[in-house]
Amino acid sequence: MAPPSSRRSGFSKKAQFSLFTGYLLAGTGAVVGLALLLLSLWQPSAFAPLRGLASDAVAPAGEATAVIRSGQQGLFSGITGYIRAGSQNAALREEVELARIRLAEAEAVKAENRRLKALLGLQDKAIKPVAIARLVGSSATSGRRFAFLGAGSSNGVRPGMPVLSERGVIGRVLETGRSSARVLLLTDSESVLPVRRAKGDVVAFAEGRGDGMLRVRLVNLGINPLKPGDLMVTSGAGGYYRPGLAVAVIAKTTPDGGTARLVAEPSSTNYVAVEPVYQPEAVSALRTQSAASRLAGNPDRRKQPAAPAAPTASSSSAVSAAAEQGDE
């Protein structure tokens, strides 16, 4: 449509000034936007409270759509069940799949137990989830992969806590609002997770590629022992996740590891559980250490053993170091 003639300023001083003010305000808006963008690229959590408020406001609507979504999934699986061999078939199939994952996890746990008993005899305590909630939304228009969770700081959810579905790891809590939280999904290209192979001890990092696959990079380079179909589970290094949770299945091997498919797809889950950070002491020690090394301007200090103030942390890092040593 042609612009109305009222927008041509002509000789009218008033019109000229208002046009100029419009450009001035728009330019100011752009400059303020640039400043805020630089600030949030430098300090990504700077606007977390604001975003928390916003996601709290949207979470109820997300709950409603999540209910519809899970209802639809139930409907579709029911229909496919009838087409094949009755609706039981679909449920049984899912159960067998879960059992297969559980079996592989159990193998991983067995191996873990053997190793830990040999090393220290650490006692395992049962972990109770902090909250169980629905995934109420996600960043569907951005290149980043975040999800919104329907539970927040009022339910005890804190940044850093792992988020799990019944199949395996979904991601990690990044920011919390009062009744909602933002989760960094494993597929995001900023997500890195220490993993190992369920069978045998091959330690690696699983990084999101941003396209739904994970890139598995081996810690010890050499002959690549991975094969397509291998299940990767969390190794427990870093202290956020407890060891032995299913993460991904290797789809293709590369010289330095492989690409892997997720075991737990966020879009096909109904409820997810938020678990407490596995070893908070280790996480906080790592954080203070990296902060200290940043202050000193010397990245090599990160490699030094932990400060004596955190004995559990140093023991846990010793455990993970020993685990990595015992690979061969």
Partner 1 sequence: MERLNPHARADRYGSRINRTQSPIRVGSVPYLSIMLASLLPVLLIADVMPLLPSLGFLMLLGWRMVRPGLLPLWAGAPLGAFDDLFSGQPFGSAMLLWSLALIGIELIEARFPWRGFWQDWFTAGLVAVLVWLAGLLLSGARFTPEMLVVALPQALLAVLLYPIMARMVASLDRFRLARARRIG
CB of 65 to partner 1, least distance (A): 5
Q: Contact at 8 Å (CB) between 174 and 151?
A: no
**Of residues 3, 121, 222, 255, which one binds partner 1 by CB under 8 A?**
3
- Residue 37 is a binding residue for partner 1 (CB under 8 A): yes
- Which lies closer to partner 1 via its Cβ, residue 171 or residue 236? 171
Whole-number Å distance between alpha carbons of 36 and 246: 38
Please give the DSSP secondary-structure letter assigned to residue 327: T
Tokens of 82: 């009838």
Q: Determine the 3-state secondary structure of 254 from DSSP.
A: strand
Q: Per rule CB under 8 A, is residue 295 in the interface with partner 1?
A: no
CB count within 10 Å of CB 174 equals 22
Among positions 49-88, residues that touch partner 1 (CB under 8 A) are 50-51, 54-55, 58, 61-62, 65, 69
106 binds partner 1 (CB under 8 A): no
Nearest to 152, CA basis, from 184, 130, 185, 177:
177
Residues 9-28 binding partner 1 (CB under 8 A) are: 22-23, 25-28
Pair of tokens at residue 282: 């280790």
In this complex, which beta carbon is closest to partner 1, that of residue 89 or of residue 139?
Answer: 139
Round to whole Å and give the CA distance between 53 and 178: 8
Q: Is 38 in the site for partner 1 (CB under 8 A)?
A: yes
Q: Which stretch binds partner 1 (CB under 8 A): 31-39, 95-103, 116-124, 235-243?
A: 31-39
| Residue 265 dihedral angles phi and psi, to the nearest 5° | -90, 125
Binding site for partner 1 (CB under 8 A): 1-4, 6-7, 22-23, 25-30, 32-41, 44, 46-47, 50-51, 54-55, 58, 61-62, 65, 69, 135-148, 185, 187-190, 209-213, 262, 265-267
